[in-house]
Amino acid sequence: MRIPARTTTLAALILALGLAGPACKKEAAAPGGTAAAEGGPRMAVNKDSFGSLADGTPVDIYTLKNKAGLEARITTYGGILVSLKVPDRAGVLADVNLGFDTLAGYLGTHPYFGAIIGRYGNRIAKARFAIDGVEYGLAPNNNGNSLHGGIKGFDKVVWKAEAIQVADGVGLRLTYLTKDMEEGFPGNLAVKVVYMLTNANELRIDYEATTDKKTPVNLTNHAYWNLKGEGNGDILGHVLQIEADAITAVDSAANLIPTGEIVPVAGTPFDFATPHAIGERIAQVEGGYDHNFVLRSGGGKLALAAHVEEPVSGRIMEIWTDQPGIQLYTGNFLDGTVVGKDGKAYQKHYAFCLETQHFPDSPNHPNFPSTILEPGQTYRTTTVHKFSVGIPIAK
């Protein structure tokens, strides 16, 4: 089973005058494009110690570099993407991923920065679901609901790791066996996640899982992005386009549990079918954006899901996925109490998340695409973050 799985003189003038509006999105090219030219930086993957847990379990961190000089750092604790450095239009690298300098930060309280999320990403209502008439109870760790796999989800375990180097990139293969009834979920679930940093300036994440009992599975990564550079102000000026015409309606801004209804976004603040600055209409959304968008592709094939551009730096990130949904979250609960890299306090809206996924609470909504994995089937899904630079022009 596969679970979806110009630059112009006018533009330069507008940029110089500070009048740039939303970016003009070029026609998207599929991931796996032309690699960086030979003769530049060399690909590399290096392993270092990142510390240890209280029980002495060692934690490592891997640094991946591609031929274009992009650098990703990933730790075995939670499979966390610790940093990702990408260039702006002048070629200056910046870390565009919120997080911490040391393991201690990740062992403390934080909102899932950069982590692999599972066994079930997003919410399950009332922390329970049923399979074949058998009800399973989960940890109610979010307003009486289950969020992101429970109290000790995949974000809080140490994964086994193996470095990878192939012709077009370097990567890290992570594996973890989550036991039957761990956090209340049935079945022994063997999980493999592969991060690849390609020479086409893509961060590709491949997920795979098998089980010995029927169980819900919904894996994602919870990176917090700021294309200006982490800690460098809010993301309200980032220009976003999402390939979706609908969202899954929620019961309230506080609870965020799907009602089961799929509602069109046309003419609402949720309409990102054409590019809009994230902050343009956010005041009209109670609590800010934290909603699942129903992707036009329907899942099952790798397709463009979202396009984001930061007008000042020119950094562009495209997200491609074979999942049917993507969660837009705009850092609504960041309030400055979390102090990240270089002592930077992360304030409200200092990051956005675009989490590729099946729909929240799918096990309790038969009309949603199924997330139930059965013995003998293999869960596979891929998400690609594709980075480039451009020059913004007015609408």
- Please list the active-site residues: 222, 355
What type of residue sits at position 331? Answer: G
Q: Confirm if 316 and 23 have CB atoms less than 8 A apart.
A: yes
Q: Confirm if 207 and 219 have CB atoms less than 8 A apart.
A: yes
Structure tokens at 53: 């847990």
No. of helices (H) and no. of strands (E), the chain: 2, 27
Spell out the residues 6+ positions from residue 92 whose beta carbon is closer than 8 angstroms to its own.
none
- Say how many C-beta atoms besides its own lie within 10 A of residue 60's C-beta: 18
What type of residue sits at position 253? Answer: A
Q: Please tell me the distance from the alpha carbon of residue 76 to that of residue 86, in angstroms, as a whole number.
A: 22
Spell out the residues 6+ positions from residue 133 whose beta carbon is closer than 8 angstroms to its own.
none
Q: Please tell me the distance from the alpha carbon of residue 287 to that of residue 290, in angstroms, as a whole number.
A: 8
Q: Confirm if 244 and 304 have CB atoms less than 8 A apart.
A: no
Nearest to 372 by CA among 217, 208, 219: 217
H-only helix segments in the chain = 9-17, 103-107
- What would you report as the CA-atom Rg of the chain, rounded to the nearest whole angstrom? 20
Angle at 227 between CA 65 and CA 338, to 5 degrees: 95
Q: Confirm if 374 and 306 have CB atoms less than 8 A apart.
A: no
340 phi, psi to nearest 5 deg = -100, -145
